[in-house]
Amino acid sequence: MNKLRFSDLIDVAMVQELMDGYYAVTGIPTGIIDGEGHVWTATGWLDICTKFHRINPVTAEKCRESDTYISTHLHTGQPYVSYKCAHGLTDVSSPIIVGGQHVAQVMTGQFFLEKPDVEFFREQARKFGFDEDAYLKALAEVPLITEEKLDAIMKFLAKLAQFLADMGYKRLKEIEAQEALQQAHASLERKVEERTVELKAAKETAEAANRAKSVFLANMSHELRTPLNAVLGFSQVMKNSRDVTVEQRENLNIITRSGEHLLHLINNVLDMSKIESGRVELEESPLDLHQLVQEIRSLMYVRAHEKELNFTLEQSPDLPRHIAVDGGKLRQVLLNLIGNAMKYTKQGGVTLRAMGTQQETAGRASVRFEVKDTGPGIHREDREHIFAPFVQLGDQPPTEASSGLGLAICRQYVELMGGAIGVAGEPGKGSVFYFEIPVTVLAPETMPAARQRGRVIGMAEGQPRYRLLIAEDHPENRLLLHKMLEPFGFDLREAANGQVAVAIFAEWRPHLIWMDIRMPIMDGLEATRHIKATDAGAQTRIVAITAHALEKERREILAAGCDDFIRKPYKDVEILEALTKNLGVRFVYEEETTPVAVAMELHAAALAELPDELLNTLEQALSRIDINAVGRAIEEIRAHHPSLADALAAVARDLQFGRMLWMVRAALGETGPEDETCIKK
Ligand code: ADP
């Protein structure tokens, strides 16, 4: 610490009060002065000194001699110093030493130890021109004390100085501690500042890396989706062909399933990157929850069958039906959880439980889903971190490709929907993944009418001959669109880049342009802007087709003037629906048929009621893949159960013999799905 000041260490006002008390009792003046001559306390100082001796230069010189003596003898280690000045007055001082530093001294005086010689003072008055009366009056005020009293005064003084020094020392230690604390605090603040700067730099680097990653993922997903579009689209085109054989159809189904699996993986990676960069938004719309659950059940029946697992749906009666929710995300979460349950379970089965929880306020409710499996289960210590991206537990090698992103996406989506997700169960006894989300319950009449349409089989009569331009740089994808549209008798032309598309537009004036966005020479956005800038362009509908899947691109595409937007890989229905939406093209639909899997499931119970004999005949025909025998067996069933026969005939038309066989065997009590039951809560 720097030079210590008395007032930094001692409460001066308190000491002044103490000294005033001392003066009142003893009548002896006191003061506390420091080395620089600063007077901290002063009590009862004598006129003889302040008005006479210290005023005249000659007598003041004597005073200074006294001061000098005292100050030079203060540090001899004695508790006090006393000095009798040339005028016969005595002064006593005691040093206050704090932490080795002289901070001030307590002094008392002046006083006489013996009666003063008045004549001497008269002489002084004359010699130095003092007003004699006033001078002698001041002299009379100087206290006279005895030797014994002097001893007591000195001891008191020394003790007081010691006491003040002790107090000062304590205060000094406090100050030092405070300073050390302040320094530590300042150094901490400096460190925090330094760390903040470092973190900011690290954050910026990470953000730049993240941006680069997003761009990379968007590009990569584009590159992967483009060929996938051709793979899935051509499989579809071939499946639609009449002369495809059973074996070819099976092979095409495998291609489609593998392609869809690949698409699922690409979408997962893309979803995760969207989540990480905070670009995922909730898109709520009306949903028939019962229908969604049934749809999922139909989808899962097939997978369960392939893996020889049971799949059970337990739908509680209080599950709300018409709700507003982000249906896409809810569906993805359910499919991910059930998909995992199937993936990691080797024997037994998977149960989906869907239930409503108590209605909170009018229109608001919570729904809870549980996906229970008989797989390996998850250890308590893994339950939290399996929801982090890219975490895969090493102890159970999955049978199918996985990315370690499924659960991370589930958690993000459930939380975005305002809910919570978790997992329970015992290692070795299976897992239960569960989540609960709040939903808005809707009145049935607010639900949009469900579109019930079968396959498109042609175009309605009396429509213009539409000119459609396909602008797409990949020859396979150009050909795919061509093959999808050709059977309907549209006039088709093709362009391999935006520039050619603009030229064909100017000369041919198509009704609609399928505009790929990424193309060489001139991309789809620029071509759209050129076309839409012309008067004729306003009459031409432009439907963007892109493998990009980010919302940002969608906005860019619409801002460039495109009327609609389709993502690759697309299905043929999406292409046809875009024609209806944008040009009003009317198609003829095949009569609505119940989807195969649903038809089968609806009739699982009816199947079980058939006589075993009929079932056995059907089973044998199916196992031989004898189409004619299957047909005959179905006709025999018609006599017992006409609607069941219709459903079976539909399945047979789709050549889904494997699935039918599995159902029949289940009805015979061999293998197959458990029957659906409602939960009795
Ligand atoms: P993955 O693509 O690997 O399935 P997920 O994020 O979906 O990624 O799951 C993370 C990990 O959690 C899986 O690798 C697996 O180890 C474990 N897991 C997920 N679901 C189950 C389940 N139903 N039973 C056992 N383990 C599971």
pLDDT means per 10 residues in the chain (681 residues)? 83 92 89 88 91 91 88 84 89 90 90 92 93 94 88 88 93 92 94 93 88 77 81 83 80 81 78 72 85 82 81 88 89 92 92 83 87 93 85 62 80 93 90 95 70 68 90 90 89 95 94 93 94 90 83 81 88 88 84 51 70 87 78 86 79 70 76 37 27
Angle between helices 627-638 and 642-653 (to 10 degrees): 160
Spatial separation of the C-alpha atoms in residues 642 and 147, rounded to whole Å: 138
Reading phi first (left if > 0) and then psi (alpha if -120 to 50, else beta), residue 431 is in beta
Backbone angles phi, psi at 245, to 5 degrees: -85, 170
Ligand 1, CB cutoff 6 Å, lining residues:
340-341, 344, 373, 375-376, 378, 386, 391-393, 396, 398, 402-408, 431
Contact 338, 406 (CB under 8 A): no
What is the CA(657)–ligand 1 centre distance, in A? 32
Identify the residue whose C-alpha is closest to ligand 1 atom 16: 393
Spatial separation of the C-alpha atoms in residues 169 and 639, rounded to whole Å: 112
The pick from 303, 386, 403, 435 for probing ligand 1's pocket by mutation, whose C-beta has the most ligand atoms within 8 angstroms, reads: 386
433 CA closest ligand 1 atom index: 23
What is the CA(410)–ligand 1 centre distance, in A? 11
What pLDDT does 194 receive?
A: 93
Output the pTM of the full model: 0.49
Whose CA is closest to 216, among 280, 278, 277? 277
What pLDDT does 679 receive?
A: 28
Instruction: Give Cα separations from 429 to 128, 347, 369, 392, 425 (angstroms).
Output: 116, 11, 19, 19, 7
| Identical topology for domains 6-177 and 285-446 | no
What is the CA(342)–ligand 1 centre distance, in A? 10
**SS3 at position 346:** coil
What is the CA(439)–ligand 1 centre distance, in A? 27
Identify the residue whose C-alpha is closest to ligand 1 atom 19: 340
Determine whether 119 is exposed, middle or buried from the number of CB atoms within 10 Å of its CB (0-12, 13-18, 19+). Answer: exposed
Sign of the Cα pseudo-torsion (561, 567, 572, 578, in order): negative
**Assigned fold of 285-446:** Heat Shock Protein 90 (3.30.565)
Instruction: Give Cα separations from 208 to 195, 211, 213, 390, 572 (angstroms).
Output: 19, 5, 8, 21, 39
407 CA closest ligand 1 atom index: 6
Reading phi first (left if > 0) and then psi (alpha if -120 to 50, else beta), residue 561 is in left
Spatial separation of the C-alpha atoms in residues 224 and 624, rounded to whole Å: 40
What is the CA(597)–ligand 1 centre distance, in A? 27
What pLDDT does 34 receive?
A: 87
387 CA closest ligand 1 atom index: 6
**Assigned fold of 6-177:** Beta-Lactamase (3.30.450)
Angle between helices 289-306 and 657-667 (to 10 degrees): 90
SS (H, E, C) 179-205: HHHHHHHHHHHHHHHHHHHHHHHHHHH
What pLDDT does 257 receive?
A: 76
Identify the residue whose C-alpha is closest to ligand 1 atom 22: 341
One-letter amino acid at 609 equals E
What is the CA(353)–ligand 1 centre distance, in A? 19
405 CA closest ligand 1 atom index: 6
Backbone angles phi, psi at 271, to 5 degrees: -60, -45
Spatial separation of the C-alpha atoms in residues 406 and 422, rounded to whole Å: 14
What pLDDT does 100 receive?
A: 86
- Two structure tokens written together for 292: 């969604």
What pLDDT does 155 receive?
A: 87
**SS3 at position 425:** strand
Spatial separation of the C-alpha atoms in residues 498 and 504, rounded to whole Å: 10
Q: How far is CA 652 from the centre of its chain?
A: 50
Spatial separation of the C-alpha atoms in residues 483 and 58, rounded to whole Å: 128
**Assigned fold of 456-586:** Rossmann fold (3.40.50)
- Two structure tokens written together for 591: 């009569």
Spatial separation of the C-alpha atoms in residues 681 and 678, rounded to whole Å: 9
Whose CA is closest to 433, among 350, 524, 348? 350
Whose CA is closest to 525, among 488, 552, 507, 494? 552
The pick from 336, 407, 409, 423 for probing ligand 1's pocket by mutation, whose C-beta has the most ligand atoms within 8 angstroms, reads: 407
430 CA closest ligand 1 atom index: 24
Which residue intervals of 376-474 are DSSP H helices? 406-416
What is the CA(392)–ligand 1 centre distance, in A? 6
What is the CA(310)–ligand 1 centre distance, in A? 19
Instruction: Locate the domains of the chain by residue range.
Output: 6-177, 208-276, 285-446, 456-586, 595-679
What is the CA(325)–ligand 1 centre distance, in A? 26
Sign of the Cα pseudo-torsion (497, 502, 504, 508, in order): positive
